[in-house]
Amino acid sequence: MGKRIVIKIGSQVLCNPDGTLNRDVLANLVSQVAALRLDNWQVLLVSSGAVAAGCGLVPGQLRRISDPVARKQVLAATGQVQLMEAYRDLFAQQSLTIAQVLSTKSDFQTRGHYLNMRGCIEALLKAGIVPIVNENDVVSVTELMFTDNDELAGLMAGMVNAELLCLLSTVPGVYDGDPDHATSQYIKRWDDERYQIEEVVSRGTSTLGRGGMNNKLAVARKVARLGTEVVIADGTDPQIMHKILGEDQAGTRFPVVRDTSSAKKWLASADDHATGSVTANTGAEEALLDSSRLTSLLLVGVEDVQGHFDRGDVIQILNPSGKVLGCGQSRYDHDDVEKLMGQRGHKPLIHYDYLYLVES
């Protein structure tokens, strides 16, 4: 199996100001992907641009649609066709085949759906096909939408155990101050001990706006903690992938903190749509957060149960103050936990192998 890289391409990179696709930038990125393939990289693209491309196609027809949700769906449905046709044509010129993969957050909710999607993508990569992933905006509803494609790219990096995730936008990296100031520089290597997200963002991180860069930083830090190196870099640079993988090491780099199992990577993707929750007492909280040992959540350490869940469902773990500590796959259903919580001598509610802690 070759080395694996996930490349997320933002709509600001792919599209002109009027919403039309920038074919020159797109062609250059495709040629860079082809070069990666020759260097034994398996490449998965997460591509924005469908809604923006749709804006350049149907401006007249949109006047007939007043519902903003329906309007976005129309833009996504029409723009996705143009986006994929552009990719198909450009990759064909490089003798490469692509596949379209549309996803919603529900694909990450259950272990079965997650493994089914992973199996498809693994087969595509094994066959030498380039998967191009995007959110299925046509059917997504608010509660099942990704924050943005940065989040989706982070989930895909964990799903395929990628060595590297590249978040390509229109900035060279994360700035240590206002990018309009001559003294500001982009951070080449992120260090949690040295930098704090809120401080960096509040100083005017980039032209992406505070929300955009804030989410990129959150995704990058989370993915690095799960075992994949992350780079935030400028996708409009015609040599950006060569620079990222070469001695220049362009962009802001987030080094791997630790590696984790595929089960924990799935749980990290399911942490915000658990079906229920339990409250751990202070003793259980201290044990879970003790980095010197591997700890499961025992029933004796549970003091409350919220929601209804079945055996095998993902549930959140709260501390006595209501703070989310993490999530895990429950060995028991809701009724059994209510009966057995606080008792000793039972199998763990959540075994360590199926436990994900937010700040672990």
Range list of β-strands (E), the chain? 3-9, 41-47, 98-103, 130-135, 164-169, 174-175, 186-187, 229-234, 252-254, 276-280, 302-307, 314-318, 324-329, 355-357
Do residue 199 and residue 283 come from a single domain? no
Domain boundary among 241, 264, 287: 264
Do residue 250 and residue 335 come from a single domain? no
As a whole number, mean pLDDT of residues 31-42 equals 96
As a whole number, mean pLDDT of residues 176-197 equals 76
Do residue 20 and residue 131 come from a single domain? yes
Q: What confidence tens digit (pLDDT) does each residue in 222-243 have?
A: 999 999 999 999 999 999 999 9
Q: What is the largest CA-CA distance in the chain?
A: 68
pLDDT surpasses 80 at 340: yes
| CATH number, domain with residue 91 | 3.40.1160.10
Give the residue from 278, 311, 277, 283 showing the smallest Cα distance to 295: 283
Q: Structure pTM?
A: 0.85
**Is 258 part of a structural domain of the chain?**
yes
Q: How far apart (Å, rounded) are the C-alpha atoms in residues 276 and 334?
A: 8
Do residue 235 and residue 297 come from a single domain? no
**Is 313 part of a structural domain of the chain?**
yes
**Is 269 part of a structural domain of the chain?**
no
| Residue 54 pLDDT | 78
299 falls in which pLDDT band (50, 70, 90)?
A: very high
Do residue 147 and residue 205 come from a single domain? yes
Number of domains in the chain: 2
| Residue 339 pLDDT | 95
Most confident of 64-78, 105-119, 152-166: 152-166
Is residue 230 helix, strand or coil?
strand
Do residue 225 and residue 302 come from a single domain? no
As a whole number, mean pLDDT of residues 113-125 equals 93
Q: How far apart (Å, rounded) are the C-alpha atoms in residues 304 and 289?
A: 19
As a whole number, mean pLDDT of residues 126-152 equals 80
| Residue 210 pLDDT | 37
| Residue 139 pLDDT | 67
Q: What confidence tens digit (pLDDT) does each residue in 264-293 have?
A: 888 888 766 788 999 999 999 999 999 888
Domain range enclosing 29: 3-264
Do residue 255 and residue 310 come from a single domain? no
Q: How far apart (Å, rounded) are the C-alpha atoms in residues 166 and 292?
A: 32
The dihedral sign for the CA sequence 29, 34, 40, 44: positive
Residues in a beta bridge with 189? 253
